[in-house]
Amino acid sequence: MSCRANILVTELFDTELIGEGALPSYEHAHKYLVEEECEAVPHRATIYAQVVESKRMWAWNKVLPINIRLEGSKGERVIVPPRDMQVCAGSPCVYDIQLNQVNRNHFTTLTEVIEIFRVDFSKAVSSLPARHTVQAKATTSGQAQVVLSWWDIDMDPEGSIKCTMAPYWVHPTPKNMQWRDHWMQCVYFLPKELLVNEGECLYISATHDDYSVWYSLECSSVTCGPDILSERPLCSCQAHLMCNRQRFGELNDQQRNEAYVKALKAVVRPDSVCVTISDGSLLSLFGYLLGAAQVYSLEISAMSRRVMEKILAANGLTGKVIISERRPEQLTSMDLGNNQVGLCAWIRNGLNLI
């Protein structure tokens, strides 16, 4: 450029605001392309958050205990996740969804809406990691599990022209909301659940690098200083490397599981030999608990094999459900102990077929 510009017009945002490289892009522009007193359009962005309790959303985060009703007097059996899955901090990735389609009964807000931090695009922007901590009081008692987050942008310095992603329950004009398919709202899962009491002082921290944001929640300010960058949560149980959010939701869907159990009850017999063909399917456990003589689970992915082995061990089913690394077309009668298969279940296009 022959000279530096005095107006910077951009659209660098995603649902998380910074996920498409907005911070390093603005940082570069201010260093090399624009004048010190330039005007940016949009002028600034503000990120908001609200802490909630939600069994529905928490079920999108990890494998939870699953209740299986057995036949007759056998009562009920609970499939429990391994300990490392229970304590795992989970995936660091944001889950962006249309919160405007989430029923208000599916979550309980534990704090008011909180302004977390602002970015003024007309001034020098840094892409270095940073932590922003805000103090808030719990408005009700509950289990803090999820942080809902969104942003708005002021198009002009005065903030007279505003574009907001606020969901319906806090939107300034809920009866006149624009529908957007490209920008939605963010669901962040806390690394661990935290029981909070009404009136308790909470410290909500948002840490970001140059492309992503993650949240933590504390009841003490000791570990919440701006110079104390919280570790980005990473999966230690491997289940989050195998399952996406929707898949966790499917595995934890009690109504869905009951439908599959009902279908299996109609066909599983004490002499049944069953084969499940799908990475990470729990149908093999269902079949064995419902009384099948032998169950084989084909786990082609090395990741799913390790996860399924841990789930079987946690439920005392190691060796009772036999995991095979074979592909379906490679199976021989020897792989199945020369048994005649009476029932085959598999997943195709996200649906279990029996």
Q: Read off the tokens for 318.
A: 């190691």
Q: What is the pLDDT of residue 338?
A: 66
Mean predicted confidence (pLDDT) in 246-271:
92
CATH number (domain holding residue 320): 3.40.50.150
- Say if 298 falls within a structural domain: yes
Whether 351 shows a pLDDT value over 90: the answer reads no
Whether residues 229 and 270 fall in one domain:
no
Whether residues 204 and 93 fall in one domain:
yes
Positions annotated as catalytic residues are 11, 20
- Say if 27 falls within a structural domain: no
Residue range(s) defining the domain that contains residue 322: 253-353
* Alpha-carbon gap, residue 237 to 190, rounded angstroms: 16
Q: What is the pLDDT of residue 330?
A: 76
277: amino acid identity, one letter: I
- Say if 80 falls within a structural domain: no
Whether residues 112 and 221 fall in one domain:
yes
- Say if 94 falls within a structural domain: yes
Whether residues 90 and 220 fall in one domain:
yes
Average pLDDT, the chain: 90
Q: What is the pLDDT of residue 182?
A: 87
User: In the chain, what are the helix, strand and coil shares in percent, each to the nearest 5?
Assistant: 20, 35, 45
- Say if 18 falls within a structural domain: no
CB 111 within 8 A of CB 50: yes
Whether residues 231 and 263 fall in one domain:
no
Task: Specify the number of domains making up the chain.
Answer: 2
Q: Which of 193, 216, 240 is the last residue of a domain?
A: 240
- Say if 22 falls within a structural domain: no
Span 36-91, pLDDT tens digits: 989 999 999 999 999 999 999 999 999 999 998 887 657 889 999 999 999 999 98
Q: What is the pLDDT of residue 219?
A: 85
Q: Which of 240, 271, 293 is the last residue of a domain?
A: 240
Whether residues 337 and 305 fall in one domain:
yes
**Model confidence at 17, in pLDDT bands (50, 70, 90)?**
very high
Whether residues 96 and 189 fall in one domain:
yes
Whether residues 191 and 273 fall in one domain:
no
Span 274-309, pLDDT tens digits: 888 888 889 999 999 999 989 989 898 899 999 999
**Model confidence at 227, in pLDDT bands (50, 70, 90)?**
low
* Alpha-carbon gap, residue 159 to 43, rounded angstroms: 8
Whether residues 216 and 146 fall in one domain:
yes
199: amino acid identity, one letter: G
- Say if 35 falls within a structural domain: no
Whether residues 51 and 147 fall in one domain:
yes
- Say if 299 falls within a structural domain: yes
Q: Report the Cα–Cα distance between both ends of the chain, in Å, rounded.
A: 65
Whether residues 200 and 339 fall in one domain:
no
Q: What is the pLDDT of residue 230?
A: 74
Whether 16 shows a pLDDT value over 50: the answer reads yes
- The residue length of the chain stands at 354
Q: Read off the tokens for 87.
A: 């304590």
In sequence order, what are the beta bridge partners of 318?
A: 321
**Sequence-ordered alpha helix ranges (H) in 135-274:** 239-242, 245-251, 254-265
Contacts of 113 (CB under 8 A, 6+ apart): 48, 49, 50, 170
Whether 350 shows a pLDDT value over 60: the answer reads no
Q: Which of 240, 263, 296 is the last residue of a domain?
A: 240
Whether residues 111 and 138 fall in one domain:
yes
Q: Is the dihedral of CA 91, 96, 102, 104 positive or negative?
A: positive
CATH number (domain holding residue 203): 2.70.160.11
Cα within 13 Å of Cα(286), Cβ side: 30
